[in-house]
Amino acid sequence: MNFCGSHRLPRAYVDPIDDSGARALFMSVLSIPPQPESVILLLDAERCGSTMVNMAGTRHDDDIYDVAEIAAATAVACGCEAVVLASVRPGRPEDLSDAERWLDIDERFADVGVELVEWYVFGRGVTSPRELIGEAARWEP
């Protein structure tokens, strides 16, 4: 999927990914119409994407814990240094409990030496649970 010349999708192992690049990548792989699912994006040391994994059927909010476990194990096995996650909750408002989930999964990634850069929740809009606790964005390398 390409956008206008200056908005093409980041290329694996070539283009460092930032917030807008990650959102564009996720939007390019999410189901239409929206379905409950989660996506894992693994990043290398230069913040270039290497792997994306789509997990269909993550219907429950706490499914992010299983997604994070898989992401952490995969990142370690692949030698990736950072992860970006996305959860799709069609038509649902933001969930304040996601702040606690963010803290829990961030700790899990830190335990294995992988940085959780971002977790997007696509519902009625797009939210980042880290913002619920006032944590700054982690996009700077």
- Residue 3 is predicted with a pLDDT of 42
- Residue 141 is predicted with a pLDDT of 61
From the candidate CATH numbers 3.30.930.10, 3.40.140.10, 3.40.390.10, 1.20.1180.10, the one assigned to the domain spanning 5-123: 3.40.140.10
| Phi, psi dihedrals of residue 104, rounded to the nearest 5° | -65, -50
- Residue 100 is predicted with a pLDDT of 97
- Residue 8 is predicted with a pLDDT of 87
- Residue 6 is predicted with a pLDDT of 57
- Cα(113)–Cα(123) distance, integer angstroms: 30
Q: Which residue has the tokens 């240094």?
A: 81
104: Cα separation from own chain's centroid: 15
CB 61 within 8 A of CB 31: no
Sign of CA dihedral 42, 47, 49, 50: negative
- Residue 25 is predicted with a pLDDT of 96
Overall pTM > 0.85: yes
Kindly report, residue by residue over 121-141, the tens digit of the pLDDT.
Answer: 999 999 999 999 999 999 976
Point out the residues of the chain with pLDDT beneath 50.
1-5
Query: In a 3-state reduction of DSSP, which class is residue 83?
Result: strand
Domain-by-domain residue ranges, the chain? 5-123
101-107 own/partner pairs: CB under 8 Å, 24+ apart: 101/61, 101/62, 101/64, 101/65, 101/129, 102/129, 102/130, 102/132, 102/133, 102/135, 103/133, 104/65, 105/64, 105/65, 105/68, 106/130
- Residue 134 CB contacts under 8 Å (≥ 6 apart), including other chains: none
- Residue 2 is predicted with a pLDDT of 41
- Cα(10)–Cα(7) distance, integer angstroms: 9
